């Protein structure tokens, strides 16, 4: 799994590619927790390059969303989510927890 971050004025873009599984999910959690520790609570998670996501990856996303929402206007927004992952989110009942955008810049503009 590869994770890159880019800071914008109003939010942070975290681009993830590869497999998010029980082995790599802690790396994603560390990146997202680092943003939260720095007071950055408006995060766009760009997932166009994600090939697979296990329940460990879903737990990281849910935990991050809960921590973001504790702060005024904080939110984890998803962008360019592959169809198979979108279906998994929907099947698990997690779709209502996230704002999901097809276009990354639309997601960044959400803030």
pLDDT truncated to tens, each residue of the chain (111 aa)? 999 999 999 999 999 999 999 999 999 999 999 999 999 999 999 999 999 999 999 999 999 999 999 988 899 999 999 999 999 899 989 999 999 999 999 999 999
User: 21-36, pLDDT tens digit by residue?
Assistant: 999 999 999 999 999 9
Q: Which domains does the chain have, with CATH numbers?
A: 2-109 (3.30.750.24)
CB atoms within 10 A of CB 98: 17
State the pTM of this model.
0.93
The per-residue pLDDT for 99 is 95
The per-residue pLDDT for 18 is 96
Cα separation, 3 vs 15, in Å, equals 6
The per-residue pLDDT for 78 is 97
- Can you tell me whether residue 7 is helix, strand or coil? strand
The per-residue pLDDT for 72 is 83
First to last CA, the chain: 27
Given a contact cutoff of 8 angstroms between Cβ atoms, the answer to whether 97 and 62 are in contact is: yes
Given a contact cutoff of 8 angstroms between Cβ atoms, the answer to whether 16 and 50 are in contact is: yes
Cα separation, 33 vs 101, in Å, equals 22
């Amino acid at each position: 799994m590869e994770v890159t971050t880019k800071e914008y004025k109003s939010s942070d873009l975290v681009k993830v590619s590869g497999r998010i599984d029980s082995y790599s999910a802690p790396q994603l959690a560390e990146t997202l927790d680092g943003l939260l520790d720095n007071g950055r609570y408006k995060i766009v998670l760009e997932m166009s390059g994600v090939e697979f996501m296990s329940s460990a990856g879903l737990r990281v996303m849910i935990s991050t969303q809960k921590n973001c929402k504790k702060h005024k206007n904080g939110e984890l927004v998803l962008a360019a989510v592959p169809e198979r992952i979108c279906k998994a989110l929907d099947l698990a009942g997690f779709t209502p927890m996230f704002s999901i955008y097809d276009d990354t810049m639309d997601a960044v503009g959400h803030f």
